[in-house]
Amino acid sequence: MSTAGKVIKCKAAVAWEPNKPMVIEEIEVAPPQANEVRIKIVATGVCHTDLYHLFEGMHKDGFPAVLGHEGAGIVESVGPGVTEFQPGDKVIPLFISQCRECRFCKNPKTNQCEKGWAADSHDVMALAESRFTCKGKKVLQFMGTSTFSEYTVMNQMAVAKIDPAAPLDKVCLLGCGVCTGYGAAVNTAKVEPGSTCAVFGLGAVGLAAVMGCKAAGAKRIIAVDINPDKFEKAKVFGATEFVNPKDHNKPINEVLAEMTGGGVDYSLECVGNVAVMRSALESCIKGWGVSVLVGWTDLHDFAARPIQLIAGRTWKGSLFGGFKSKDGVPEMVKAYLNKKVKLDEFITHKMTLDQVNDAIELMKHGKCIRTVLSVSPQ
């Protein structure tokens, strides 16, 4: 029986309020409107940005919401005006749109887009409009995606069609974490062959940054984390050395300066902590060092001494690894299928949507790299 044009009742994890566990509810998902596609989500990763919204950002206007933004699925139906997708296509929802028409999309220097939730709702992390309702109440669509639901509706400019051979329970990670870290090294920092890099934070984003540094030909890749359990995993992705700041009685930037004869060529902050951002900048060599902010946060100001930049360091930020989303994600899927990018190695746990709160707890306590939730049968 076709569901096209009808409201679908399905299961979703609803965050009714901040700082509370999500609740598995039956929600209604309206049919796609003009230029929209309705997607059956097959698998989703649990990312720190979901935790950020729930436990740190806690914006009063950002609830109730269906969280999740690192998913993969199959197109169920399309709205009027959609020509790029048809039912049955394998797709990855994108939290950054690519309309291909705005001044940002036309400029090769950026992957920003003037359309979508991120253009003017980055603090709330959701647009006011949504196709979700639950118990008669409107439920917000988190980051324009909401992958902790069996079905979601998205504008076609925020969906990437991918190779039909791609395993959805692996490539879902390309919807956020892996592209974010890998691209920060390759696209934003533009790591050069033979260089020395430091990656701060060895979650999925940091490990992907390590993988990006290796792919770019870095000679030394120093992994920095206060959890030594992560060092073995970092080796798999290409880290050559490891530093635990807790093992030293001097600032980490001084430790790295001693190890590298003055500082690293590139540093990537993959934690989302303003103190670590400053340490990462100070770990760069003066003259040409480049430090990239990768970890997502919008809670505090960050600071540095002017002389640190006057001396020739560059401080820059990276959103979604600098990838233009609709173009970059299918390319990364191909790179995975061609064994040029690792994905399986990030996945430490597999669970179901019903276990989403357990997955959140694992991440909160640093007990996983990535947990992939099975959402709907394929």
Per-residue pLDDT tens over the stretch 218-266: 999 999 999 999 999 999 999 999 999 999 999 999 999 999 999 999 9
CA distances to 98, 127, 158 from 326, rounded to whole Å, are 6, 20, 7
Whether 67 and 22 have beta carbons less than 8 Å apart is answered as yes
Helices 252-260 & 274-282, crossing angle to 10 degrees?
30
- Match 């008669």 to its residue by tokens: 136
> If you average pLDDT over residues 130-157, what whole number do you get?
94
Whether 223 and 239 have beta carbons less than 8 Å apart is answered as yes
Task: Provide the token pair at 193.
Answer: 């062959």
Name residues whose C-beta falls within 8 Å of residue 283's C-beta, 6 or more positions apart in sequence: 198, 252, 253, 256, 257, 263, 264, 267, 289, 291
Terminal alpha carbon distance of the chain? 16
> If you average pLDDT over residues 14-24, what whole number do you get?
94
What is the secondary structure of 136-195 as a DSSP string? TEEEEEBTTT--SBSEEEEEGGGEEE--TTS-HHHHGGGGTHHHHHHHIIIIII---TT-
What are residue 182's phi and psi, to 5 degrees?
-60, -50
The most distant pair of C-alpha atoms in the chain lies apart, rounded to whole Å, by 68
User: Which residue type occupies 128?
Assistant: A
- Match 């118990």 to its residue by tokens: 135
**Nearest one of 78, 75, 2, 4 to 34, comparing CA atoms:** 78
Between 124 and 39, the higher pLDDT residue: 39
d(CA 279, CA 335): 33
Percent of the chain with pLDDT over 70: 98
Whether 190 and 219 have beta carbons less than 8 Å apart is answered as no
What pLDDT, on a 0 to 100 scale, did the predictor assign at position 13?
Answer: 97
What pLDDT, on a 0 to 100 scale, did the predictor assign at position 122?
Answer: 66
Q: What are the extents of the domains in the chain?
A: 184-319
Rg (CA), the chain: 20
Residue 318, SS3 per DSSP: coil
- Match 């994890």 to its residue by tokens: 13
pLDDT digits (tens, 9 = 90+) for 77-132: 999 999 999 999 999 999 999 999 999 999 999 999 998 776 666 667 777 788 99
What pLDDT, on a 0 to 100 scale, did the predictor assign at position 116?
Answer: 76
pTM over 0.85: yes
What pLDDT, on a 0 to 100 scale, did the predictor assign at position 206?
Answer: 97
Q: Is 30 exposed, middle or buried (0-12, 13-18, 19+ CB in 10 A)?
A: middle
**Lowest model confidence (mean pLDDT) among 108-117, 160-169, 270-279:** 108-117
Task: For residue 54, give the DSSP letter.
Answer: I
d(CA 129, CA 71): 21
When the candidates are 3.40.50.800, 3.40.50.720, 3.90.1150.10, 2.40.110.10, the CATH number that belongs to 184-319 is: 3.40.50.720
> If you average pLDDT over residues 177-195, what whole number do you get?
98
CA distances to 195, 207, 344 from 219, rounded to whole Å, are 5, 16, 24
